[in-house]
């Protein structure tokens, strides 16, 4: 009896090990780079074409002087449709990549009693800041969230274990978690087949439209912003975005935390 | 030795099956969570950690508190604790098991848990937490089991055990320190962004853990023929009161810094917890209850005649334990997330399903503890014969 059980256990152990190493080999040899390293997977997810837009460090300027409620709503819609962001009824389950907030919430440290009248009710878009020094990347235990060479902070939805450490680490509340199956809350007629839908139990956020840059397109929100959003290369002194920053005083969210956000606001 | 856990009175088996029943019910809710997602909990986009992670944090403390027996016994040769040190180590084992289960319950994709080992990431504190917790579990299993086995055979424990025992001291400190580092290294979460968080975690742990151990000792004396000893219980009581006072002191330091500096990022969370913020204050009664319990616990334990009276002592220990449980297991995590980074108030309270899953994890811990203590007491009874 004792002997039998032992040999069974041995057999079971060896089988499990065998299966494990098989799948490991599978992962190493398969074309699906998703299984190996984070950086490689991002490169693979967004296959670059010849006319891909590239930069040393992508950044964005939000010109609040050109904003109004209609434009903000449009940006939100364009982004959420392009990325299959579900629309859940329960506020606890909410997913948002870009949304509008008021000045006092966008810049809680700059809360002003005598704020300029225009800014009081002005909707201001907030999104992932693609920080040069991102606390979410530091916190992630699996490198499922990582920073690309061009500064974009991305997510590998297949690697994320859903621990939500990145959400605690983000000082901007830019991340959302799939508390339930997102696919149930995407209308089939709205689904964008070019972009993956997610599964429940993973975190997601704005990706600066890395998939659109790869085929030579500007981010979806920028396209509909009527000039309120300027997107470009912060690493190139000749770029339009650098020119705008040279000519205007811009602020960033919670600059004092040292995260070095790549999204600037002209107020 | 394990066979001792398989022989017991009817009462023993009723207790074991009651725990198994609770586990089964909670597991049902967990299956529901696996199916639907973490949306069955009260957590949200703003309060993205809740009951599970808070229980995990609290229990890491209970596990670490075994060191309060190991230090006096092994480093200071305080012989009296030799009688109950294994009880502390076995409590640590079951606590770490609960910690691991709470982490798994909290994951959105538990099936991918091993990604943490597949892609080791030293800059993530969670990676280190996984390492120190599993290491601590292993150390306590090996040490507790071997020392008990040696005792059973009436021989001194093997020589190679000694270094492991010494290692367990800094290791115990490390598990709760790393757990505090999960929180206090995050920019923009003012409530946790304080160097006193790890020391305070340890102080509260050294109060709550030994308080629970005293209750266990009194229980063991009542339901078995093994007496953990009057002196042992009294010494533990002193550990509890020191721990609890230091914890309260650290907390008051925290309150002073926030209130006197009046920096909103630090003050707002305390205000939310104790007075409510913008008309929201679901945790206010809980936090004041916790404070009253902790302070009354300290007063009762400070009065020598009250401390020596075991029926008063047990009340003081229950007060201390529950007070710290509310503070760490309810307030600490939710308080850090409210208000959110955009300074909006979205409150959190656990749902029934969430609590039931938590209760099942506790039942699992108690089951492990029951069986380990059964073995321990079985050996003691065998030796007494």
Of A7-16, A131-140, B22-31, B132-141, minimum mean pLDDT range:
A7-16
Local confidence band at B253 (pLDDT 50, 70, 90 cut-offs): very high
* pLDDT per residue as tens digits for the range A38-49: 444 444 456 677
Which residues from A are below 8 Å from B133, CB to CB? none
Q: Is pLDDT above 80 for B26?
A: yes
pLDDT at A40: 43
pTM: 0.91
With tokens 């691991």, the residue in question is: B100
B263 shares contact with chain A (CB less than 8 Å): no
B36 shares contact with chain A (CB less than 8 Å): yes
In terms of residue numbers, what domain contains B11? Answer: 2-384
B42, B116, B188 ranked by CB distance to A171: nearest: B188
Which residues from B are below 8 Å from A105, CB to CB? 342-344
B37, B127, B130 ranked by CB distance to A178: nearest: B37
ipTM above 0.85, yes or no: yes
Q: Which residues contact B10 (CB under 8 A, 6 or more apart)?
A: none
Number of cross-chain residue pairs from A and B with Cβ atoms under 8 Å apart = 152
Give me the residue spans of the domains in chain A.
1-30, 37-266
Q: Is B44 helix (H, G, I), strand (E, B) or coil?
A: coil
Q: Is pLDDT above 60 for A28?
A: no
Q: What is the CATH number of the domain that holds B101?
A: 1.20.1630.10
Rounded to an integer, what distance in angstroms lies between the CA atom of residue A151 and that of residue A131?
Answer: 8
A220 min Cα distance to partner chain B (Å)? 24
Task: Decide if A140 and B124 are in contact by the 8 Å CB cutoff.
Answer: yes
B44, B130, B186 ranked by CB distance to A92: nearest: B44
- For chain B, positions 121-150, list CB contacts with chain A under 8 A: 121, 123-127, 130
* pLDDT per residue as tens digits for the range B263-314: 999 999 999 999 999 999 999 999 999 999 999 999 999 999 999 999 999 9
DSSP B294: H
A100 min Cα distance to partner chain B (Å)? 11
Specify the long-range contacts of residues A64-69, CB closer than 8 Å, at least 24 apart: A64/A119, A64/A122, A64/A124, A64/A228, A64/A265, A64/A266, A64/A267, A65/A266, A66/A225, A66/A226, A66/A227, A66/A228, A67/A122, A67/A123, A67/A124, A67/A125, A67/A228, A68/A123, A69/A100, A69/A123
Task: Decide if B121 and A143 are in contact by the 8 Å CB cutoff.
Answer: yes
B175-179 mean pLDDT:
96
> Chain-wide mean pLDDT for chain A?
86
pLDDT at A46: 66
B329-358 mean pLDDT:
95
Rounded to an integer, what distance in angstroms lies between the CA atom of residue B264 and that of residue B266?
Answer: 5
Q: Is pLDDT above 60 for B380?
A: yes
pLDDT at B377: 93
Q: Which of B42, B47, B48 to mutate to test the interface with A (most CBs of A within 10 A)?
A: B48
Q: Is pLDDT above 90 for A233?
A: yes
Which residues from A are below 8 Å from B182, CB to CB? 165
Q: Are B102 and B328 in contact (CB under 8 A)?
A: no
Domain count of the fold of chain B: 1
Q: Which residues contact A221 (CB under 8 A, 6 or more apart)?
A: A75, A76, A78, A79, A98, A125, A127, A209, A229
Task: Decide if B39 and A180 are in contact by the 8 Å CB cutoff.
Answer: yes
Would you state the CATH architecture of domain A37-266? 2-Layer Sandwich (3.30)
B38, B44, B115 ranked by CB distance to A159: nearest: B115
DSSP B100: H
Cis check: omega of the bond before B339, within 30 degrees of 0: yes
**Residues pairing with A147 in the sheet:** A153
* pLDDT per residue as tens digits for the range B34-50: 999 999 999 999 999 99
DSSP B139: H
B101 shares contact with chain A (CB less than 8 Å): no
A141, A168, A200 ranked by CB distance to B49: nearest: A168
Local confidence band at B202 (pLDDT 50, 70, 90 cut-offs): very high
* pLDDT per residue as tens digits for the range B47-71: 999 999 999 999 999 999 999 999 9
Q: Is pLDDT above 60 for B316?
A: yes
Q: Is pLDDT above 70 for A188?
A: yes
Local confidence band at B3 (pLDDT 50, 70, 90 cut-offs): confident
Structure tokens at B69: 């027996």
* pLDDT per residue as tens digits for the range A30-78: 333 333 344 444 444 566 777 899 999 999 999 999 999 999 999 999 9
pLDDT at A59: 97
B41, B123, B342 ranked by CB distance to A173: nearest: B342
Which residues from A are below 8 Å from B186, CB to CB? 135, 139, 168-169, 171
pLDDT at A19: 44
Local confidence band at B245 (pLDDT 50, 70, 90 cut-offs): very high
Of A103-117, A126-140, A149-163, B27-41, minimum mean pLDDT range:
A103-117
pLDDT at A178: 97
**What percentage of chain B reaches a pLDDT higher than 70?**
100
pLDDT at B195: 95
């Amino acid at each position: 009896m004792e002997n039998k059980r032992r040999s069974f256990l041995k057999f079971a152990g060896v089988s499990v090990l065998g299966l494990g190493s098989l799948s490991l080999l599978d992962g190493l040899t398969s074309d699906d780079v998703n299984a190996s390293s984070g950086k490689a997977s991002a490169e693979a997810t967004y296959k670059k074409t010849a006319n891909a837009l590239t930069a040393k460090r992508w950044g964005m300027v939000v010109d609040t002087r050109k904003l109004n409620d209609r434009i903000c709503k449009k940006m939100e819609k364009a982004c959420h449709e392009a990325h299959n962001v579900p629309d859940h009824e329960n506020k606890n389950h909410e997913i948002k990549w870009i949304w509008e907030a008021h000045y006092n919430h966008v810049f809680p440290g700059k809360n002003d009693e005598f704020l300029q009248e225009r800014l009081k009710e002005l909707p201001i878009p907030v999104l992932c800041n693609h920080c040069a020094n991102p606390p979410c990347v530091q916190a992630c235990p699996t490198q499922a969230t990582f920073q690309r060479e061009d500064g974009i902070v991305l997510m590998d939805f297949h690697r994320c274990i859903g621990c939500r450490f990145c959400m605690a680490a983000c000082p901007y509340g830019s991340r959302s978690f799939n508390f339930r199956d997102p696919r149930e809350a995407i209308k089939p007629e709205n689904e964008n087949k070019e972009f993956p839908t997610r599964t429940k139990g993973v975190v997601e956020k704005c990706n600066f439209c890395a998939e659109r840059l790869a085929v030579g397109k500007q981010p979806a929100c920028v396209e509909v912003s009527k000039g309120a959003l300027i997107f470009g290369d912060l690493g190139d002194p000749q770029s339009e975005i650098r020119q705008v920053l040279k000519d205007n005083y811009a602020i960033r969210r919670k600059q004092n935390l040292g995260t070095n956000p790549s999204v600037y606001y002209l107020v | 030795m394990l066979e001792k856990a398989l022989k017991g009175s009817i009462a023993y088996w009723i207790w074991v099956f009651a725990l198994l029943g609770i586990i089964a019910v909670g597991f049902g809710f967990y299956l529901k969570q696996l199916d639907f997602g973490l949306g069955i909990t009260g957590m949200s986009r703003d309060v993205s950690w809740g009951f599970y992670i808070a229980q995990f944090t609290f229990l890491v403390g209970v596990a670490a508190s075994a060191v309060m027996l190991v230090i006096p016994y092994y480093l200071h040769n305080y012989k009296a604790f030799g009688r109950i040190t294994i009880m502390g180590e076995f409590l640590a084992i079951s606590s770490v098991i609960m910690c691991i289960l709470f982490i798994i319950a909290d994951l959105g994709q538990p099936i991918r848990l091993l990604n943490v080992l597949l892609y080791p990431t030293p800059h993530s504190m969670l990676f280190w937490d996984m390492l120190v917790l599993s290491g601590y579990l292993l150390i306590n299993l090996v040490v507790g089991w071997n020392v008990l086995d040696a005792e059973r055979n009436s021989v001194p424990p093997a020589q190679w055990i000694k270094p492991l025992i010494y290692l367990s001291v800094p290791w115990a400190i490390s598990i709760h320190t790393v757990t505090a580092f999960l929180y206090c290294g995050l920019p923009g979460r003012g409530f946790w962004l304080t160097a006193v968080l790890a020391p305070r975690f340890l102080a509260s742990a050294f109060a709550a853990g030994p308080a629970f151990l005293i209750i266990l000792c009194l229980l063991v004396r009542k339901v078995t023929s093994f007496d953990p000893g009057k002196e042992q219980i009294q010494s533990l009581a002193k550990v509890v009161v020191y721990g609890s006072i230091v914890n309260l002191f650290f907390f008051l330091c925290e309150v002073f810094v926030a209130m006197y500096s009046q920096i909103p990022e630090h003050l707002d969370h305390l205000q939310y917890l104790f007075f409510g913020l913008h008309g929201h204050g679901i945790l206010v009664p809980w936090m004041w209850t916790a404070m009253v319990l902790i302070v009354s616990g300290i007063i009762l334990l400070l009065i020598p005649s009250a401390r020596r009276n075991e029926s008063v002592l047990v009340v003081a220990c229950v007060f201390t334990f529950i007070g710290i449980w509310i503070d760490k297991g309810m307030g600490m995590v939710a308080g850090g997330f409210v208000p959110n980074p955009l300074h909006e108030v979205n409150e959190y309270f656990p749902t029934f399903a969430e609590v039931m899953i938590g209760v099942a994890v506790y039942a699992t811990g108690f089951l492990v503890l029951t069986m380990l203590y059964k073995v321990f007491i079985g050996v003691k009874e065998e030796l007494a014969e």
